[in-house]
Structure 1
Amino acid sequence: MNIKKITMRSIIVLFVMIIGFYTVLVSKSEPNGQVVHATSIVHNSYKDAKPFSLEDRHGNTVRLSDFKGRTVLMTAWTTWCGECREELETLHHIQQHYPENKLKVLAVNLTTEETSLENVKRFLGNEPMKATVLFDTKGIVKQRYGIYGIPISFLIDPYGKIIRTFPGVINQKDLDQWLPN
């Protein structure tokens, strides 16, 4: 066998091992016996939520630190993402279901991924939203949270730690399971 074949086979074996290791990490059992599925990721290290300051629909500056002491559900979305548009209604209902002193829902529009801020505002119209809509016009949240796929939600505890990441559309059942008491 020549060196190229051996090298190629070694790379393939290494790639398969990495995929297998990742799969085991994502689907391992939690101490309480629950299985963590690939649709949500536990941050065992409880990383600090990265600070940000964004404008809301009314031009007010909103900081993540404004919600210190409260649990925050932060979701990243765009208007061109069909799942994101559907999820906006879910976020509205989630915020309606929980009092704001227990859970604050922030719907962060990745405005750098949109054609314009005006188009996003036109999309939102004058519809009342219980969730607070914020505009990431400089890509700060996208960069600080390493967002590469949407929708994605981060559950941040009252101490500012990310305790759960939900890639894809979130639902109330998933959230109920992970909300701190």
Structure 2
Amino acid sequence: MQREKAPDFCLPTLDSEETICLKDLYGKAILLTFWVTWCPACQSELPKKDIFSRSLDIHHFAFYSINVTGREMDPKQVKPYMEQHGYQFPVLLDQGRATYDAYQITSVPTSVLIDPKGTIVNRYPETTPFAEVIKDIGRVLS
């Protein structure tokens, strides 16, 4: 089966003027989670992702959430939403739906696992148990 190269992106972070580019993360396994504030499934998944993000070995693994600003009712509410819930995971801001569309995402939340060479391992829609995602991460890291 032919695996596809993950589309590169450079996106601004929510909390700073820093920009994160996918190509700078090569060499690590990467999990991206696409989400929006108004989505009930996102709201139930984000606490798990926050705990997960705090337990990572950042030398071998990178986790970034990507807020799909083009699907937000008001993108200015993302920062207050993060603060209200005390989430500490890094948030990148999609440029409208550019990255969401480049990754062929059709619903939120969706996570994408990328291997250290920049190849997409799998896409996980909201119905995927997070334990399955963690199992795949373990395979990529071993």
Displacement of 1:112: 0.8
2:8 is equivalent to residue 51 of structure 1: yes
Name the residue aligned to 1:89.
47
Structure (1 or 2) with the larger CA radius of gyration: 1
Any runs of at least 4 consecutive aligned residues in structure 1 with deviations exceeding 3 A, and if so which?
Answer: 169-172
TM-score, normalised relative to structure 1: 0.70
TM-score, normalised relative to structure 2: 0.87
For the 8 Å contact 1:52–1:141, the answer to whether it is kept is: yes
- Higher RCO (CA 8 Å, separation ≥ 6 residues): 2
C-alpha distance 171-92 of structure 1, shift in aligned 2 (>3 A): farther
Taking only the aligned residue pairs, the percentage that are identical comes to 26
Name the residue aligned to 1:69.
27
Secondary structure of 2:2 counterpart? coil
Query: Distance in 2 between the 1:148 and 1:71 partners?
Result: 23
Displacement of 1:140: 1.4
Per-residue CA deviation, residues 1-41 of structure 1 (Å, 9 max, x unaligned), is xxxxxxxxxxxxxxxxxxxxxxxxxxxxxxxxxxxxxxxxx
Q: What are structure 2's unaligned runs of at least 5 residues?
A: none
Displacement of 1:170: 5.3
Paired AA for residue 146 in structure 1: Q
Per-residue CA deviation, residues 22-64 of structure 1 (Å, 9 max, x unaligned), is xxxxxxxxxxxxxxxxxxxxxx422100001111122211111
Q: What are structure 1's unaligned runs of at least 5 residues?
A: 1-43
Per-residue CA deviation, residues 69-97 of structure 1 (Å, 9 max, x unaligned), is 00000010000101112211111111222
CA RMSD in angstroms comes to 1.7
